[in-house]
Amino acid sequence: MKRNSIIYILPIFFLMIVVYSCKVNYSFSGASVSPDIKTVSIQYFRNNASLAPPTISQSLTEALKNIFTSQSHLAIVTRNADLNFEGEITGYAIAPVAIQSNDLAASNRLTIMVHVKFVNTKDEKQNFDTSFSRFADYSSTQSLTAVQANLIDQINQQLVQDIFNKAMINW
């Protein structure tokens, strides 16, 4: 009986050693992070979009910090991190998207554009300097002021997921 137990336990033991000795850590978000990467720095995203509300910079920056806190093991530091993000909000536009027969818009689209510079100090090949854009539609029967905060939150969540995916999952 003891011999049979050892036959079953031994492969499990070796499998555990192999899994723990891997060079890359994986998380449930799909992010793969080298074990030598411990910190991330996310600088304040400036608002350079003329029509955007002044709170958009803070909400985007905080949303990016939150996704790293919730979906990675990295510590957020102010400067000189293993991973560094900086950027700016470059566009904030509202446009009609569904015109009715009476030339009135049935719905409008809020689009936010962000430019991001990402530097991985451990692997230069993963660096990028890219723009991201996302949008959300709302009914023209609603005023923008009534739905703006909710739309910005919704778009920010999509933008930070795109940024996170590009940096951590490398899509």
Q: H-type helices in 36-165, by residue range?
A: 56-71, 144-164
Give me the sign of the Cα torsion angle 26, 30, 36, 38: negative
Summary mean pLDDT of the chain: 85
Q: What is the mean pLDDT of residues 111-126?
A: 96
- Contact between 148 and 53 under an 8 Å Cβ cutoff? The reply is yes
pLDDT tens for 134-146 read: 999 999 889 899 9
The answer to whether the CB of 71 falls within 8 A of the CB of 113 is: no
The answer to whether the pTM exceeds 0.85 is no
What class is the 36-169 domain? alpha beta
Q: Binning pLDDT at 50, 70 and 90, where does residue 20 land?
A: very low
Annotated domain spans of the chain: 36-169
